């Protein structure tokens, strides 16, 4: 057992009320990790509390308990655990919470798996950033086994969701032999993947107007760089109309990746106040999502990343920058075609 794991155990043992914190861009890994850890801590007799600076996106709401995630820090807590994040740039919201000064003085653990860390969370007492795991969910599962935390069917199903999120259903190269072994242990404990998949399928059905809207997005998708880069922009009016029903990025992005020749897809959300966000996905064999995001001050994984621009940028300039960043990333890869 590592010293860091022992320090984490110490923090948990000495605390009663423990806040579990996700970044301002929650995904299946962060939410599954938070819910899994909530269940584990509850079984240890602790009082867990889940925080996230933004609303849990609707596509994740098939996970029972998502509505226990609060947008404010509690009045009273003894310790905190960040899951799936280790950079200040992704926890901007919490720094404006009235209880933030308290947080910086409490014992704080960071459990993450992102290799590149700019602006580390300096006030953390212990930071476990494992780069040999697929996800925060896998890290928590491993820690649970090492430290003897009580795992049950509920917590393992949440952690399984987390792992399946970041490994895209065990289809990308983040999934290692150890990932499969851990999942096999989870199945032994009671995690039920077919049940989980059915819950997600039911939840992810969309109303007829979303089906029609998808056609608009397909129609507006631009194929650039000889078809290697697919880009579509979603203006604020559409975000307001359709986001409450279905998130436009997941609605269209998988289909963009099905286009023959597409290496990278980008879904841009353009807000009236000048803000732009981007969801970037890259094709298998082209692990260039992160470097493209980094060119815009963002970050993420080899095949999934994103960025946020707060200053207004016009569409032509943004398209030119995207083209350049994608070309650079492709040529850095050695121009290899598969
Ligand atoms: Mn993750």
Mean pLDDT by groups of 10 residues along the chain of 338 residues: 92 98 95 98 98 92 96 98 93 96 98 84 94 96 98 98 94 93 98 94 90 97 98 97 89 96 98 96 94 92 91 95 97 69
Helical residues (DSSP H) of the chain, grouped into ranges? 3-14, 28-43, 100-105, 136-147, 153-166, 177-189, 193-203, 208-220, 236-242, 248-256, 289-294, 315-332
Distance 331 CA to ligand 1 centre (A): 27
Which pLDDT does position 117 carry in this prediction? 67
Which pLDDT does position 77 carry in this prediction? 98
**Nearby residues for ligand 1 (ion, Cβ within 5 Å):** 29, 84, 135-136, 166
Distance 73 CA to ligand 1 centre (A): 22
Distance 14 CA to ligand 1 centre (A): 27
Which pLDDT does position 44 carry in this prediction? 98
Distance 167 CA to ligand 1 centre (A): 9
Distance 30 CA to ligand 1 centre (A): 6
Strands 17-22 and 79-83: parallel
Interatomic CA distance for residues 292 and 283, integer angstroms: 13
Distance 135 CA to ligand 1 centre (A): 5
Residue 33 burial (CB count, 10 A): 33
Which pLDDT does position 218 carry in this prediction? 97
Which pLDDT does position 203 carry in this prediction? 85
Interatomic CA distance for residues 172 and 193, integer angstroms: 18
Which pLDDT does position 245 carry in this prediction? 86
Which pLDDT does position 334 carry in this prediction? 79
Structure token digits, residue 7: 């320090």
Sheet with 69-70: strands ordered across: 69-70, 47-52, 17-22, 79-83, 108-112, 126-129
**Considering only CA atoms, which of 88, 84, 117 is closest in space to residue 104?**
88
Q: What angle do CA 5, 6, 8 make, to 5 degrees?
A: 65
**Read out DSSP for 271-331?**
-TTS-EEEEEEE-TT---HHHHHHTTT-EE-SSEEEEEE-S---HHHHHHHHHHHHHHHHH
Which pLDDT does position 5 carry in this prediction? 97
Which pLDDT does position 1 carry in this prediction? 65
Strands 79-83 and 69-70: unpaired
Distance 158 CA to ligand 1 centre (A): 13
Which pLDDT does position 172 carry in this prediction? 84
Q: Is the pTM of this model over 0.95?
A: no
């Amino acid at each position: 057992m590592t010293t860091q794991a022992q320090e984490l155990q110490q923090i948990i043992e000495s605390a009663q009320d423990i806040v579990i914190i996700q970044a301002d861009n929650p995904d299946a890994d962060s939410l599954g990790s938070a819910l899994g850890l909530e269940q584990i801590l509850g079984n240890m007799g602790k009082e867990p509390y889940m925080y996230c600076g933004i609303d849990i996106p609707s596509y994740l709401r098939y996970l029972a308990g998502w509505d226990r995630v609060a947008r404010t820090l509690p009045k009273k807590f003894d310790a905190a655990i960040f899951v799936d994040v280790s950079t200040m740039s992704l926890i901007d919201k919490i720094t404006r919470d009235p209880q933030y000064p308290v947080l910086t003085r409490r014992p704080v653990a960071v459990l993450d798996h992102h290799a590149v860390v700019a602006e580390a969370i300096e006030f953390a007492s212990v930071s476990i950033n494992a780069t040999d795991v697929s996800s925060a969910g896998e890290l928590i599962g491993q820690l649970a086994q090492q430290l003897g935390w009580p795992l049950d069917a509920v917590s393992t199903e949440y952690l399984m969701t987390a792992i399946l999120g970041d490994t895209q259903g065990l289809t990308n190269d983040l999934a290692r032999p150890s990932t499969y072994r851990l999942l096999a242990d989870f199945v032994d404990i009671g995690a039920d993947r077919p049940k989980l998949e059915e819950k997600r399928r039911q939840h992810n059905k969309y109303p007829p107007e979303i089906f029609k809207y998808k056609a608009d997005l397909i129609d507006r998708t631009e194929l650039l760089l000889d078809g290697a880069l697919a880009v579509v922009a979603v203006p604020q009016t559409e975000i307001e109309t359709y986001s409450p029903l279905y998130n436009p990025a997941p609605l269209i992005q998988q289909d963009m990746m099905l286009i023959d020749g597409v290496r990278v897809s980008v879904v841009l959300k353009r807000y009236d106040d000048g803000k732009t966000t981007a969801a970037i996905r890259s094709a298998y064999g082209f692990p260039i999502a992160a470097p493209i995001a980094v060119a815009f001050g963002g970050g993420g994984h080899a095949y999934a990343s994103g960025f946020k621009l707060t200053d207004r940028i016009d569409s032509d300039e943004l398209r030119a920058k995207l083209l350049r960043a994608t070309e650079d990333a492709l040529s850095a890869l050695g121009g290899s075609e598969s």
